[in-house]
């Protein structure tokens, strides 16, 4: 098992005919992911072809879900239309919408988040690398790859990884895989200040997942999401957890690439978050090169086997 | 994106938020015309730069105060002449300070009491929050720390908007009554409309004042906007002042590079914002100081890598370069080819450490090796960071 998705998950792609969406649809198909439908309004009835794959395109998410049984969408549509694309997934009753799009106006996300209250659809992202549930084939082939992360660096196993940042997630996964440690699921929740699924939401899922034996929690300066997750871990999670916070050298008031990565007050600096991690029993990675080793230290201390 | 006080106040007026009468000038010749638009008598002279702490700032020639009270308009003109073109150093500008290119004159107001008012995003609830306090004109962080009970917050439901009862509640908490209450209510509602309609990231009025005649005015205005939403606000995009931005950051944005200048001497070139931030961190961890944040993005081209190198080398403080690439989907060989082309084009003489990992890494390393360039390769982030710190020391 894994969290939220499995290698059997049926995926649809919103924005499948755009350059960005098309490129990553091909990579997901190559990885063995079950991409069953595409959605591009006005191109319904056409097909997205890649090698032996022939993915039907629909005019709406509702049509695509009804015809193919897709339960999860990856959203690649441009920022001005992305909020609408998310709401369309909610309306169609999908289980999960993963918004890859970078640069969605914050007000749009404030409204989307409010509109999703009480609905059954979960949102991951936006401005995120997506999710990977590794498969059992060579280079984890046969898994479910949603979004833009490299699939081949993964390995099927028992570590859950959650992060705001794409490349830092890859760095952590690569460190794990080269040490022979596999992953249950990796989740990139995105670098925006308003996002769907939080660090804490993912941590709760990992804590409850019998297939996940250890967790790497990667955070950044800005906001207090990492702190909320850490306090919950202290009270509720027995599994070994390693943590890293990026942005110790970032000056206050400057936005470091991600819209959410900006120090606003004394509470959201890297130093403040690292102090909370330590206080909550999370093994802190001293440098980004130390993430996998930090988890190994935490696992050893708790007598947990990660492989 | 930040804007100047005088621009923010023009927006305030457009949305029905009262401000003291004011006029801006960019040359000494314009001072006279600007001042004729104001009533005779006490006048404020305000340096326009994108940084706080102006009143307590000092100019590089020793003149004190970027915001001054003057008894007469004649006096205001003389003071303005000392500020214009001068460089103002405040707690927020760094030691280099900012050159004052615009002066804003306003009629000085009779102040009965000062308040604080701001609207921004509350990240915990993902809702707009209005923050107000009876302690205006001082650092709000200090008030929040020393007497948090004096900070009042109202969360706005984005589905409904700001409700009248919430405005009333806030006004009672601020202790306002009569004409003041009525005027403050209107001001808060209009300010919220402006925040929402313009996709502002933050609107801050410190101080908001009451006058002896019952008026409520925004005496200062600090406004910033959500960059992601500028595409739908051309009139706000037009307010951007390139003089207030680092020239290297402007050049970087032309090449879709995300660059922020810092004070150190080790430049970094990285793909991905999280990895770029942590590359700065690891340089510092091993005793070096990063010269910049530079994220080349997920799909960097050879041309972008060349542009990135030129921008990095435009910083005279740089003594060495660390390239850290985790090519997930990005082809490491594309980056390697870009590095080789860039180094040849700019004639690099500084130490260069390259750490490449990920997709097509063998080809990338081969390209670097075959180029004959004198560069050092790092295996992990830690290894690469230690090597560049040592080379620069």
**pLDDT score recorded for residue B96:** 86
CATH superfamily for A153-302 is Succinyl-CoA synthetase domains (3.40.50.261)
Tell me which chain A residue has its CA closest to the CA of residue B294. Answer: A257
Tell me which chain B residue has its CA closest to the CA of residue A246. Answer: B278
From the CA of B243, how many Å to the nearest CA of chain A?
A: 17
**pLDDT score recorded for residue B295:** 93
Buried b (16+ CB within 10 A) or exposed e, A11-49: bbbbbbbbebbbebbbbbbebbbbbbbbbbeeeeeeebe
Residues B19-45: tens digit of each pLDDT: 999 999 999 999 999 999 999 999 999
Contact B285 A256 (CB under 8 A): no
**Phi, psi (deg, nearest 5) at residue B119:** -130, 130
B353 close to B321: Cβ distance less than 8 angstroms: yes
A157 close to A182: Cβ distance less than 8 angstroms: yes
Mutate to test the interface with A, among B274, B300, B326, B327 (most CBs of A within 10 A): B274
Residues A153-162: tens digit of each pLDDT: 999 999 999 9
Q: Tell me which CATH code domain B247-392 carries.
A: 3.40.50.261
Distance CA A78, CA A91 (A): 20
Average pLDDT value for residue range B275-292: 96
Residue percentage of chain A with pLDDT more than 70: 99
**pLDDT score recorded for residue A240:** 98
**pLDDT score recorded for residue A1:** 66
Give the number of beta-carbon pairs within 8 Å between A and B: 168
Residues B251-272: tens digit of each pLDDT: 998 998 999 999 899 999 999 9
| Among B24, B21, B20, B93, residue whose Cα is nearest residue B54 | B93
- Chain centroid to CA B194: how far? 20
CATH 3.40.50.261-classified regions of chain A: 153-302
* Residue B11, pLDDT above cutoff 70: yes
CB < 8 Å to B326, chain A: 167, 170-171, 174
Mutate to test the interface with B, among A243, A289, A292 (most CBs of B within 10 A): A289
Contact B328 A290 (CB under 8 A): no
Q: Catalytic pick from A158, A199, A213, A258?
A: A258
What crossing angle do the helices spanning A270-279 and A225-236 adopt, rounded to 10°? Answer: 10
CB < 8 Å to A261, chain B: 273-274, 277
Coil/strand/helix, residue B145: helix
Beta bridge partners of B69: B44
Contact B273 A253 (CB under 8 A): no
Average pLDDT value for residue range B315-344: 90
Angle ∠(A88,A89,A93) on CA atoms, nearest 5:
115
CATH 3.40.50.720-classified regions of chain A: 11-124
Distance CA B117, CA B292 (A): 34
Cis peptide before B158 (omega within 30 of 0): no
* Dihedral angle over CA of B229, B230, B232, B233, nearest 10: 130
* Residue A257, pLDDT above cutoff 80: no
Contact B274 A249 (CB under 8 A): no
Tell me which chain A residue has its CA closest to the CA of residue B289. Answer: A249
Distance CA B170, CA B191 (A): 14
Tell me which chain B residue has its CA closest to the CA of residue A171. Answer: B326
Q: Tell me which CATH code domain B113-237 carries.
A: 3.30.470.20
**pLDDT score recorded for residue A261:** 77
| Among B216, B223, B213, residue whose Cα is nearest residue B189 | B216
* Residue B278, pLDDT above cutoff 90: yes
Computed on alpha carbons and rounded to an integer, the radius of gyration of chain B in Å comes to 25
From the CA of A285, how many Å to the nearest CA of chain B?
A: 11
Average pLDDT value for residue range B321-326: 94
**pLDDT score recorded for residue B301:** 82
- Tokens matching residue A266: 């004394």
State the architecture of A11-124 in CATH terms: 3-Layer(aba) Sandwich (3.40)
| Overall size of chain B counted in residues | 393
**pLDDT score recorded for residue A266:** 67
Contact A289 B382 (CB under 8 A): yes
CB < 8 Å to A123, chain B: none
Contact A256 B271 (CB under 8 A): no
Distance CA A213, CA B195 (A): 46
ipTM: 0.92
B293 and chain A in contact, CB less than 8 A: yes
Residues B354-392: tens digit of each pLDDT: 999 988 889 999 999 999 888 999 999 999 999 999 999
Enumerate the domain spans of chain B.
21-107, 113-237, 247-392
Residues A102-130: tens digit of each pLDDT: 999 999 999 999 999 999 999 999 999 99
Average pLDDT value for residue range B289-296: 95
**pLDDT score recorded for residue B111:** 97
Q: Which residue has the tokens 């006096």?
A: B75
B94 and chain A in contact, CB less than 8 A: no
Looking at per-residue confidence, does B95 or B59 come out higher? Answer: B59
Coil/strand/helix, residue B251: helix
Contact A167 B275 (CB under 8 A): yes
Distances (CA, A) of B187 to B19, B181, B318: 10, 10, 49
A220 close to A261: Cβ distance less than 8 angstroms: yes
B259 close to B311: Cβ distance less than 8 angstroms: yes
Distance CA A209, CA A46 (A): 39
A96 close to A4: Cβ distance less than 8 angstroms: yes
Residues A185-235: tens digit of each pLDDT: 999 999 999 999 999 999 999 999 999 999 999 999 998 899 999 999 999
Mean pLDDT of chain A: 95
Provide the pLDDT confidence category of residue A259 given band limits of 50, 70 and 90: confident
Tell me which chain A residue has its CA closest to the CA of residue B257. Answer: A257
Residues B128-182: tens digit of each pLDDT: 999 999 999 888 888 888 899 999 999 999 999 999 999 999 999 999 999 999 9
Q: Which residue has the tokens 């439908």?
A: A37
Residue percentage of chain B with pLDDT more than 70: 100
Q: Which residues contact A19 (CB under 8 A, 6 or more apart)?
A: none
Contact B121 A193 (CB under 8 A): yes
State the architecture of B21-107 in CATH terms: 2-Layer Sandwich (3.30)
Catalytic: A158? no
* Residue A19, pLDDT above cutoff 80: yes
Contact B123 A260 (CB under 8 A): yes
């Amino acid at each position: 098992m894994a969290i939220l998705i499995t290698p059997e998950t049926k995926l649809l792609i919103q924005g499948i005919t755009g350059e960005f969406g098309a490129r990553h649809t091909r990579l997901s198909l190559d990885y063995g992911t079950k991409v069953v439908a595409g959605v591009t309004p006005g191109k319904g009835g056409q097909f997205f072809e890649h090698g032996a794959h022939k993915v039907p395109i629909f005019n709406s998410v509702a049509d695509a879900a009804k015809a193919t049984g897709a339960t999860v969408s990856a959203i690649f549509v441009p920022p001005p239309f992305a909020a609408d694309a998310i709401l369309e997934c909610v309306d169609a009753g999908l289980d999960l919408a993963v918004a890859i799009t970078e640069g969605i106006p914050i007000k749009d996300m404030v409204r989307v988040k409010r509109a999703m209250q009480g609905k059954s659809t979960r949102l991951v992202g936006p401005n995120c690398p997506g999710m990977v549930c590794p498969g059992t084939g060579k280079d984890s082939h046969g898994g479910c790859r949603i979004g833009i992360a490299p699939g081949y660096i993964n390995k099927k196993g028992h570590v859950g990884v959650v992060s705001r940042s794409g490349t830092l997630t890859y760095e952590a996964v690569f460190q794990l895989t080269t040490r022979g440690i596999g992953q249950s699921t990796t989740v990139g929740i995105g670098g925006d200040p308003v996002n769907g699924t939080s660090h804490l939401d993912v941590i709760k899922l990992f804590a409850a997942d019998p297939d996940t034996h250890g967790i790497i929690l990667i955070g950044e300066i800005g906001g207090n999401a990492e702190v909320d997750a850490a306090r919950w871990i202290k009270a509720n999670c027995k599994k070994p957890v390693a943590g890293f916070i990026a942005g110790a050298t970032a000056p206050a008031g400057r936005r470091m690439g991600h819209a959410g990565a900006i120090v606003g007050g004394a509470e959201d600096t890297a130093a403040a978050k690292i102090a909370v991690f330590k206080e909550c029993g999370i093994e802190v990675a001293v440098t980004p090169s130390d993430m996998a080793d930090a988890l190994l230290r935490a696992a050893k201390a708790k007598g947990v086997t990660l492989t | 994106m930040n804007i100047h006080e005088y621009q923010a106040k023009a927006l305030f007026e457009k949305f029905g938020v009262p401000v003291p009468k004011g006029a801006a000038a960019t040359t000494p010749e314009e001072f006279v015309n600007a001042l004729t638009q104001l009533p005779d008598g006490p006048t404020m002279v305000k340096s326009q730069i994108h940084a706080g702490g102006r009143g307590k700032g000092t100019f590089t020639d020793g003149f004190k105060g970027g915001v001054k009270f003057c008894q007469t308009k004649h006096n205001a003109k003389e003071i303005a002449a000392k500020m214009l073109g001068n460089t103002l150093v405040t707690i927020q500008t760094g030691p280099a300070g900012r050159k004052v290119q615009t002066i804003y004159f306003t009629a000085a107001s009779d102040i009965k009491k000062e308040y604080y008012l701001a609207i921004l995003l509350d990240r915990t609830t993902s809702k707009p929050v209005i923050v107000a306090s009876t302690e205006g004109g001082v650092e709000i962080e200090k008030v929040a720390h020393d007497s948090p009970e004096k900070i009042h917050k109202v969360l706005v439901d984005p589905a409904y908007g700001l409700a009248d009862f919430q405005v009333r509640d806030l006004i009672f908490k601020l202790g306002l009554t009569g004409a003041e209450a009525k005027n403050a209510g209107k001001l808060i509602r209009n300010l919220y409309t402006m925040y929402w309609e313009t996709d502002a990231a933050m609107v801050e009025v410190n101080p908001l004042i009451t006058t002896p005649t019952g008026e409520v005015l925004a005496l200062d205005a600090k406004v910033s906007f959500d960059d992601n939403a500028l595409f739908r606000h051309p009139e706000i995009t037009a307010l951007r002042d390139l003089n207030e931005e680092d020239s290297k950051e402007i050049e970087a944005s032309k090449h879709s590079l995300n660059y922020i200048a810092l004070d150190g001497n080790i430049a970094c070139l990285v793909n991905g914002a999280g990895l770029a931030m942590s590359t700065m961190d690891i340089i510092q961890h091993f005793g070096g100081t990063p010269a910049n944040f530079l994220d080349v993005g997920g799909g960097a081209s050879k041309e972008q890598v060349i542009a990135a190198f030129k921008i990095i080398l435009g910083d005279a403080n740089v003594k060495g370069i660390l390239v850290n690439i985790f090519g997930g989907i990005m082809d490491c060989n594309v980056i390697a080819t870009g590095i080789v082309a860039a180094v040849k084009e700019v004639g690099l003489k500084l130490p260069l450490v390259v750490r490449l990992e990920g997709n097509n890494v063998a080809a990338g390393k081969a390209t670097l090796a075959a180029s004959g360039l004198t560069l050092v390769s790092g295996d992990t982030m830690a290894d690469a960071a230690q090597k560049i710190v040592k080379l620069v020391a």
